[in-house]
Amino acid sequence: MKGLRKVLTPFAPDQSGASGVVYSMGALIVIIDAGGCTGNICGFDELRWRDTRSAVFSAGLRDMDAILGRDELLASKIESAASRIDASFVAIIGTPVPATIGTDYKALKKLISNKVTIPVVAIPTNGMKTYNEGEWEAYKALIDEFAKDSVEDESGEIIVGMTPLTYGDDYMDITLDDIKRIKSSKKLVAASSSGIDACIYSGNDFEIYNPVVRANIPDGITGKTLVCHDEVVGKTIRDAGIDVDIATFFKLHDSIKRDGDRKLTEEDDFVAMVKEGGYDTIVADICLKELVPDFEGKWIDLKCFAVSGRS
Amino acid sequence: MKREAVFYTAKDVAERGKQGIPDELLSGKSLVYSSPATLAYNSPGAEGFGVKRAGLSVPESVMLIVAPGCCGRNTSLISNMPGYKNRFFYLEMNEADLVTGRHLTKVPGAIKEVLEFLKGTASHKLPKVVMICITCVDALLGTDMERVCRKAEDSLKDSEFEGTRVRPCYMYALTREGRRPPMVHVRQTIYSLLEPMEKDPKSVNIIGGFAPLENTELLKYLKNAGIENIRQISTCDTYEEFLCMAKANFNIVINPEARACAEDMHNRLSIPYIELTRVYGTDKIAAQYKALANVVGTVFEDEEDKAEADGAIARLKAEYPDLTFNIGECVNGNPFELALSLARMGFKVEEIYATLAPENYVFVKKLAELSPSTKLYCNMEPTMLYYDISNSKADITIGKDAGFYCPDIPNVSWNQDTEPLGYQGVRDLMNRVYDSLKEDRK
């Protein structure tokens, strides 16, 4: 059945992706939820949370807040927090609750902007999409708010999309300064699916590869190979001269897609691809192996935090 | 801008009165700061027993989480724990479902597919109950999940899965401070599975917890009083054994969140109940046991257990006469009652990290008489981002959250699944504190 998962747990959702992008930018992050979504983000999807104190807040919505649409109350709470917390900007991140009651993020942003003295960025995630979409929404909102058409210093490389949700402990943070100069940077690299979207949106030229994977192509790959991960991981391995089909549960851009590549949605999509593909090697998170216990080829474990929660 | 955490002293709060509790100490008045200290508040399922684990405390049950993907994301933490393999399944909602409610029509088919899947696993073990866990979205959509579950049960008729019970579990974080918060509701759901049975005067249930009470004197007292069957949901190995909880002569409620289900059981199954509150004053414990003994029609011989608990307090006091505590709210106990009990024992309490619900004002008022300078912080208050341990002179902290704020001070987390009760709780806590301090001295 479409949407039914019997083996895998749900993948990292868009709101976690959005939070992950702004997490290290010194923002006052407000998850517009009742509490559970913030707990999921902080207690599970945000690797950096246990080691660093950061200004992540839940809106702490209650049923009457949602039913009556008390945006003014929420804005006042944010005003109060912003007056007592040092932050570079306010980031409001959506969840299923505002999605259900049809929150107007543009209006909410305006309402909050009238009460605080720092910029406000609204990221309209809804908890029903995958994390890469949330990362993309975050990049888009940040570029709209902060990116400049030209900056004095255009040197230096900006790598977009090396987030912990895709690459676990190998993540590379992007800063607010990087966002400011993304449109004019001399070297821009898209290191994941959301990075590609962000780079396209910036209008600047960019390359597509993952620097960590490129420097560490997994050992032991032989024969026909399936890489199931973020599309850029698959592309980086393919670009190293390996015969690769790319599978991804996330986005697969037309610019990367080749014959044999596939965007997966259901558990059964992966099972079918493995059964029909005749692969000698699979490079993917080991948690996917439970879906294809009869696969007799070589399995190279390449962790994907967004899939398994392993860093 | 002041970069410091807001606090009030016990004296400040006592003087303001119950109606004047500062907003910074109350829930719902500000954004909720999210730190490891508040994880259990923000996401009760992430630690200990939240709705998901609680729902699966019914023996031979599985859970289908019907929700946006984000609601089930951290379940993999639980799935990897012993006893939860092949017990969680997910029917993910998408944006179209949100508008059309189509996800609800898929529930019966999804249950059948899950049951077929389980039949094909190595154990071939089929569940007796399927819990359907729904979340905030369905709370707002006004979903009648009872009806959806009835339809799902009906759809299993005349199939090999006939008789499988389907029940709703409401993980509605939005209603956390309402009349029926999720952890109250899930207990009602669980015990609603019980059907009337012939009463057994020698049977008693202990309800409220999801891990067994162990090592507590209560079981001994009940056995001495002639109670032969003491049932707790966590010690029932099979669904049939769980159903026998309907035979109980009375229920002992050890968690206030089980009060509503105890009322339900009283009304529906004619099982009366008595409540035991977890407290850390041995005189109060003695009074509670006396009341319980009166109900049972006996006398509990508790002098020895009380003496043992008092002895543990005396040992700690003798070794560390000026011991100073910081106390969090991620503990098996009420942090304000615990602070008051420790102050009455003659210890010092420097800081408490907890949300002050108005019903706990009474403890603060009494604490203010013994320890007026005790500082009250609220875990959830945004300025806790700036809490500075260097201002604290405590020797030991109790509570997982207190351990987070004061990483350099010995900590007794005291939030284990197996909850303490009565004299055993006091004795074990005192001994754990004693051992932690001894260990730290080394």
Interface list for B 324-343 with A (CB within 8 A): none
Give B375-390 pLDDT, tens digit per residue. Answer: 999 999 999 999 988 8
- The amino acid at residue B219 is L
**Which of A139-143, A280-284, B87-91, B400-404 shows the lowest per-residue confidence on average (mean pLDDT)?**
B400-404
Q: What pLDDT is stored for residue B46 in this prediction? A: 63
Close Cβ partners of A4 (under 8 Å, ≥ 6 residues apart): A266, B89, B90, B91, B92, B106, B110, B113, B114
Confidence of residue B39 (pLDDT cuts 50, 70, 90): confident
Q: What pLDDT is stored for residue B37 in this prediction? A: 76
Residues A29 and A138 in one domain: yes
Q: What pLDDT is stored for residue A66 in this prediction? A: 87
Q: What pLDDT is stored for residue A150 in this prediction? A: 83
Residues B22 and B84 in one domain: no
CATH number of the CATH domain containing B381:
3.40.50
Q: Do A10 and B69 touch (CB under 8 A)?
A: yes
Residues A39 and A99 in one domain: yes
**Residue B172 clears pLDDT 90, i.e. is over it:** no
Say what angle helices A105-113 and A71-84 make with each other, to 10 degrees.
40
**Residue B214 clears pLDDT 90, i.e. is over it:** no
Residues B147 and B238 in one domain: no
What is the number of domains present in chain A?
3
Q: What pLDDT is stored for residue B44 in this prediction? A: 64
Confidence of residue A189 (pLDDT cuts 50, 70, 90): very high
| Contact pairs from chain A to chain B, CB under 8 Å | 219
DSSP B23: G
Q: Cβ contacts (< 8 Å) between A34 and chain B: which residues? A: 136, 172-174, 176
Tell the residue number behind the tokens 């600047």, with chain if given: A204
Report if residue B49 sits inside a domain: yes
Q: Do A3 and B3 touch (CB under 8 A)?
A: no
Residues A233 and A288 in one domain: yes
Report if residue B115 sits inside a domain: yes
Report if residue B40 sits inside a domain: no
Averaged pLDDT for residues B182-195: 95
Spatial distance between the Cα atoms of B193 and B130, rounded to a whole number of angstroms: 11
Close Cβ partners of A127 (under 8 Å, ≥ 6 residues apart): A13, A14, A15, A37, A94, A95, A96, A99, B68, B69, B70, B71
Report if residue B362 sits inside a domain: yes
Strand-pairing partners, residue B19, are none
- The amino acid at residue A121 is V
Q: What pLDDT is stored for residue B45 in this prediction? A: 62
Report if residue A164 sits inside a domain: yes
Are B57 and B190 within 8 A, CB to CB? yes
Report if residue B197 sits inside a domain: no
Q: What pLDDT is stored for residue B63 in this prediction? A: 97
Interface list for B 163-202 with A (CB within 8 A): 171-178
**Residue B161 clears pLDDT 70, i.e. is over it:** yes
Q: What pLDDT is stored for residue A132 in this prediction? A: 98
Q: Which domain holds residue A175?
A: 157-212
Q: Do B110 and A4 touch (CB under 8 A)?
A: yes
Which of A5, A12, A36 lies nearest to residue B92, judging by beta carbons? A5
**Residue A267 clears pLDDT 90, i.e. is over it:** yes
CATH number of the CATH domain containing A96:
3.40.50.1980
Residues B259 and B307 in one domain: no
SS3 state of residue A119 = coil
Close Cβ partners of B258 (under 8 Å, ≥ 6 residues apart): B184, B187, B207, B208
Residues A222 and A130 in one domain: no
What is the number of domains present in chain B?
3
Residues B150 and B50 in one domain: yes
| Residue in A with minimal Cα distance to B93 | A128
Which of A54, A78, A99 lies nearest to residue B31, judging by beta carbons? A78
ipTM of this complex: 0.95
Q: Which domain holds residue B161?
A: 45-180
Q: What pLDDT is stored for residue A155 in this prediction? A: 77
Give A197-220 pLDDT, tens digit per residue. Answer: 999 999 999 999 999 999 999 999
Residues A102 and A172 in one domain: no
**Residue A275 clears pLDDT 90, i.e. is over it:** yes
Report if residue A7 sits inside a domain: no
Cβ burial B252-288 (10 Å sphere, 16+ → b, else e): bbbbebbbbbbebbeeebebebbbbebbbbbeebbeb
**Residue A167 clears pLDDT 80, i.e. is over it:** yes
Residues B314 and B422 in one domain: yes
Q: Which of B242, B276, B310 is a domain's end point? A: B276
Alpha-carbon distances of B44 from A37, A154, A228, B171, B361, rounded to whole Å: 11, 47, 33, 10, 24
**Which of A78-82, A124-128, B40-44, B103-107 shows the lowest per-residue confidence on average (mean pLDDT)?**
B40-44
